[in-house]
Structure 1
Amino acid sequence: MALVIPEDNRFESDPDDALPEDPGLPEGWTAEAPDGSDPATVARLAELLRGHERAGRGWAGSGEDEVRVEVSEHGLAMRENLVVRDADGLIRAWGSVHDRAEGRMLFVHIVDREVDERLAGRCSDVLFEWAEAQARAVGAARGLAVQQIDTGAFADDERQHEWLAAAGFERVRTWWQMSRSVEAAEAELVPDPARWERKGVVFRLVEREGGPGSMPDVADLRAVHQVLEGAFTDHFNSAEETFQEFIHRVREDPGHRWDHWWLAEITDGDGDPEPAGALVGTVSESDTGPDGSYVSYLGVLESARGRGVATGLLRTIIADAASRGRDRVGLEVDADSPTGADGLYTSMGWGTKYVTESWHRDVPVT
């Protein structure tokens, strides 16, 4: 399968056209698009990102790979970035916008924790002004009347909360970031993580067109996409994402691996197997210990609920992680969801490691 590239970038690529003539920065300070191919720029943005994480949750987990997702040539197919430099040329703030799906624009907002309160606030204002202009640009390109800006914050990051509220954002959702330890013996949780069956449901890896190491079968990838779209139709802030957008985005994740994608199919009856559930996993790499696995997406169609599909997929990724010598499996759960999914996770050993929030602002396009 060839690399899938979505439609052309819909953002305003020139920061000068997305900001006032005088953005109100101190003398000598500038706002510009960063050079994502410059190692020093990537390293500095990673430093800012890690500082942001430490201030918000007490520890840093990201690195340069996560930055490249935002600023690389590949990432810019669906993104734009802005940095604010001080008079010495040091990057003090970073904003990134992502055309995630129709009507939904993701926004990264990071300001150096070493900058004094007044200057930090001005940097924050510049990022918000730029993001608002980008929301109008991408909304207009998609033919929308209103464009949502979707950004996140750590639950304990009061500075970020104050800035978001002052900029017109509303806190709309809370998310539990959960983790579960994995023991070596749990490799036996399922007969074979590559393929096993229970009560008329087959759990299997997506097929590879030319065997192990080759690209996945496109029909299987479309089945995963269709299951996830169908499973999340009524979920909070669900926005339809095309197959091309979905594949392009998930392949950007530094932890992406094709051999971490599973389908669950209903096989009882006389017809062909029917996709009923899907799990997209990734690798959580560690510099200090064993790697972990992460459940990026888990969806089960309503017609198949109550048949143990979600439990089977979770047992599969746990067994797979154990067989690879990993020590944990992480996932995110909607703390406000009425489905009670958190009950399944806690019953299977997951616990909350930290908490994040979604903050939204709707921007009129015209």
Structure 2
Amino acid sequence: MPLTDRAAAPDRLDLPELTGVTWRPLERADAPALYTLVAAAEDADAQPFRTSLPELEEAYDAPGQDPATDTIAAVDDDGRIVAYGGVAARPGDESVVRVFLHGGVAPDRRGRGLGRAVVAWMTGRARQVLAASDHDLPGRILTYLEDGGPAAERRLYERAGFATRRYYAMLRRDLAEPIPVVDLPAGLRLQPWTPDLDEAVRLAHNDAFRDHWGSEPQSPEVWAHGRTLFAPQWSSVVVDPAPDPALADGLDAETRAHVEAGGALVAGYQLADRAEQDWAVQGYTSGYTETLGVRRAYRGRHIAPALLAAGMRAFAADGMQYAVLDVDTENPTGAYGLYSSLGYAKTVGSRMLSIEV
């Protein structure tokens, strides 16, 4: 059955009807008010992170989202935003068409049906987005929740048909402990990330995560988005300046064309974020490894530990107390074991919930 039919999308998606609030799409000018709501919710729920205002402003321009049709806000009689929701697809998905949900309710307005209304609207809109896709692929409507978050929020999604599909762990590593020195094989070069290498890093990422559950290739548009917290001074890559010609057959067409045009071949990368807004709630300063990847043809050559060690040294040199990252607990590359061997230990967990279409 085509995704258009499987999506079971509503022909018409009416705004919720609840007394005391007016519903409308979010607008760019709403960012400060939305930040106030999000900050209050994260405080009330004792989330292990905080969302910054620049992140919310950047989210307005998320690829695959039209705020006019893909967002919703509940505004009370005083003009205050008391609930919100949004859906976003990811251009470039090749094996599963995904629609991501994000929303929340002001702590003092919970228990009045706002959360249920937002989840119902987001799910209906996500089904419409799937139905409009021109790909005849499986579909997935998904959201992420912290394990330590409100149980009522998880029950809300479960009652709407969502089920937990994947678990994640946040790990940290004390930078006061000795940082290992990891030697790379001859011919490979570890160097700082630079803008001219970013396209080569994107291509390496798409190859590295091709065998990861739930991961899809990132288009240039998606790859360039979400850089508000990016810390280039903490990020590094491993380049193969003279790749073995035998590797050419194993490279995807896009990478092959890039290299033949004179572009670098990135074998692995570690991209870091500086999330200063998290430090107060964490109780320590940290550098966050947002993405770590190694091309499949280069695995087993100590590239990942070398990149992690380089990241730790960069964090420590900047006065950070811990190195932090998140990992899929069922990562097929054995990443969890690698992190443990380098001294990382779990602090908190999260999960992905989805409706599979």
The residue that corresponds to 1:150 in the other structure is: 142
Does 1:63 find its partner at 2:39? no
User: Helix, strand or coil for the counterpart of 1:114?
Assistant: helix
Moved more, 76-85 or 305-314: 76-85
How high is the TM-score relative to the length of structure 1? 0.77
Return the letter of the residue paired with 1:25: L
Query: What is the one-letter code of the residue matched to 1:304?
Result: Y
* Residue among 204, 209, 214 paired with 1:227: 204
Question: Does structure 2 retain, via aligned residues, the 8 Å contact 1:232–1:299?
Answer: yes
Give the structure 2 partner of residue 259 of structure 1: 233
Q: Aligned-pair distance for 1:108?
A: 0.8
Q: Which residue is 1:35 aligned to? A: 27
Q: Is 1:95 the counterpart of 2:85 in the alignment?
A: yes
1:128 shift after superposition: 2.0
Q: CA deviation at 1:329?
A: 1.4
> Partner residue of 2:255?
none
Residues 198-253 of structure 1: CA distance to partner in whole angstroms, max 9, x if unpaired?
A: 5432111234xxxxxxxx11xx2121111111111111112222122211x232xx
How many Å apart are 1:51 and its aligned residue? 3.5
Q: Does structure 2 conserve the Cα–Cα contact (< 8 Å) formed by 1:177 and 1:332?
A: yes
| 1:151 partner letter | T
Q: Is the counterpart of residue 129 in structure 1 residue 105 in structure 2?
A: no
Shift of 1:38: 4.3
Q: Does 1:250 find its partner at 2:241?
A: no
Structure (1/2) with the larger strand percentage: 1
More deviation, 321-330/262-271: 262-271
SS at match of 1:241: coil
The 1-side partners of 2:110 and 2:335 are apart by: 42
Contact 1:266 1:275 in 2 (8 A): yes
Change beyond 3 A, Cα 1:306–1:184: closer
What is the alpha-carbon distance in structure 1 between the residues aligned to residue 49 and residue 301 of structure 2?
39
> After the TM superposition, which residues 177-256 of structure 1 pair with which residues of structure 2 at under 5 Å, given as runs?
177-183=170-176, 186=179, 198-207=185-194, 216-217=195-196, 220-247=197-224, 249-251=225-227, 254-256=228-230
2:340 corresponds, among 341, 346, 355, to 346
Instruction: After TM superposition, list the pairs within 5 Å mapping 1:276-355 onto structure 2.
Output: 276-286=267-277, 288=280, 291-355=285-349
Shift of 1:125: 2.5
Q: Distance in 2 between matches of 1:256 and 1:47?
A: 21
Question: How far apart in 2 are the matches of 1:314 and 1:185?
Answer: 13
Cα gap change, 1:311 to 1:49, in 2 (>3 Å): same
- Decide which moves more: 236-245 or 314-323: 236-245
Asked whether the equivalents of residues 153 and 357 of structure 1 are also in contact (C-alpha less than 8 Å), the reply is: yes
Q: CA deviation at 1:99?
A: 2.3
Q: Is the 8 A contact 1:148 1:360 kept in 2?
A: yes
Counterpart code for 2:86: S
Deviation per CA, 1:330-355, whole angstroms, max 9, x where unpaired? Answer: 11111123432111111111111110
Compute the TM-score of the two structures, normalised by the length of structure 2. Answer: 0.78
Task: Report the 3-state secondary structure (helix = DSSP H, G, I; strand = E; otherwise coil) of the residue aligned with 1:238.
Answer: coil
Report the CA distance shift for 1:323/1:361 in structure 2 as closer, same or farther (over 3 A): same
Letter matched to residue 17 of structure 2: G
Percent identity, aligned pairs only, is: 23
Letter paired with 2:25: A
The separation in 2 between residues aligned to 1:124 and 1:36, in whole angstroms, is: 22
SS at match of 2:308: helix
Q: CA deviation at 1:45?
A: 2.8
Match of 2:157 among 161, 164, 169: 164
Q: Which amino acid aligns with 2:165?
A: V
Question: Partners of 1:68 and 1:49 in 2: how far apart?
Answer: 18
CA RMSD of aligned residues (A): 2.9
Counterpart position of 1:212: none
Q: 1:174 aligns with which of 167, 170, 183?
A: 167
Query: Alpha-carbon deviation of 1:269?
Result: 6.8
